[in-house]
Amino acid sequence: MDKDSNKATFIFSSVMVVVIAVLLSVTAISLAPYQEKNVRIEKMKNILTSVSIPTETTGTETAFNKYITQQIVLNNKGEQVTGSVTAFDIDLKKELDKVKIGKGNEQLFPLFICNKEGKSFYIIPIRGKGLWGPIWGFISLESDMNTVYGVSFGHKSETPGLGAEIETQKFQQQFIGKQIFDESGKFVSVTAIKGGAKPNDMHGVDAISGATITSKGVSEMFERTLNNYIPYFKKQETIAFTN
């Protein structure tokens, strides 16, 4: 065959495409377990960060197993359920999306209980939408299931210096000490307020300047996700709840 012919060029190109595709597939398959492990470690790290437990990459799993003493799966009625799925492996996005397809009664919600320095903290995953994509995080509540002990936020594609500020310590520290129920026991969540929260506002934090949509996304994320855990909190009878 003439090596300079169009046919030879086409055959050579086709073979190279197949070879490269095979190599990429093999690489992807071989690296998949490591990628999955990294995702799990990152999730553990974010859970621990919400309760101010520092971790190193090599010690994250050990710390997680030490401090996270219980993992609970809840249904939409606030009842604990058992089954093949564990709290850690629940995909919150898929559970929240079940409402859109009329399967809200099949939702499952993960709850992590942390024991730190003899005190119990309740860690809840939260998820919402920012300006350019999904935002997510974890919120830890003190034993009263009302007072915020800490938060950890993440995002996919928010603007640096604006919406991406939700990941900064400065923004996240505002949530510490806030409460998700008012004095009468009514669920009011925590809201990022444009222009700044009033002094001593137990349910508001300062929104990010120039990132109104992302700030609203954080507020919506808190209210929509936490609302699914209210039935469970009511069953614990730790505070004076109202209907």
Structure tokens at 31: 């690296």
| 2 Cβ neighbours under 8 A, 6+ residues apart | 8
- For the segment 11-51, what is each residue's pLDDT rounded down to a tens digit? 778 888 888 888 877 776 776 666 677 889 999 999 999 99
Q: Pick the range with the lowest mean pLDDT from 42-56, 115-129, 139-153, 167-181.
A: 42-56
Q: Considering the domain boundaries, does residue 36 fall inside one?
A: no
Torsion over CA: 177, 182, 187, 193 (sign): negative
Q: How many structural domains compose the chain?
A: 1
Q: pLDDT at residue 243 above 50? A: no
Q: Find the domain containing 110 and state its range.
A: 46-236
Task: Report yes or no: 226 and 180 within 8 Å, Cβ to Cβ.
Answer: yes
Distance CA(4)–CA(135), nearest Å, equals 54
Residue with tokens 């492996």: 89
206 pairs with which residues across the strands? 193
Q: Considering the domain boundaries, does residue 5 fall inside one?
A: no
Q: pLDDT at residue 241 above 60? A: no
Distance CA(189)–CA(107), nearest Å, equals 21
Q: Considering the domain boundaries, does residue 13 fall inside one?
A: no
Q: Considering the domain boundaries, does residue 168 fall inside one?
A: yes
- Per-residue pLDDT, 3: 59
Distance CA(172)–CA(49), nearest Å, equals 11
SS3 205: strand
Q: Considering the domain boundaries, does residue 33 fall inside one?
A: no
Q: How many CA atoms does the CB half-sphere of 19 hold within 13 Å?
A: 6
Nearest to 154 by CA among 130, 189, 119, 173: 130
Q: Considering the domain boundaries, does residue 39 fall inside one?
A: no
- For the segment 157-167, what is each residue's pLDDT rounded down to a tens digit? 999 999 999 99
- Per-residue pLDDT, 27: 73
Structure tokens at 106: 């099949």
Structure tokens at 42: 């990152």
Q: Considering the domain boundaries, does residue 34 fall inside one?
A: no
| pLDDT average, residue stretch 172-194 | 95
- Per-residue pLDDT, 7: 72
Q: Considering the domain boundaries, does residue 23 fall inside one?
A: no
- Per-residue pLDDT, 155: 94
| pLDDT average, residue stretch 63-86 | 92
Polymer length of the chain:
243
pTM: predicted TM-score of the whole model, two decimal places? 0.83
- Per-residue pLDDT, 102: 92
Task: Report yes or no: 160 and 208 within 8 Å, Cβ to Cβ.
Answer: no
Edge-first strand order for the sheet with 119-129 is: 68-75, 108-116, 119-129, 134-141, 148-155
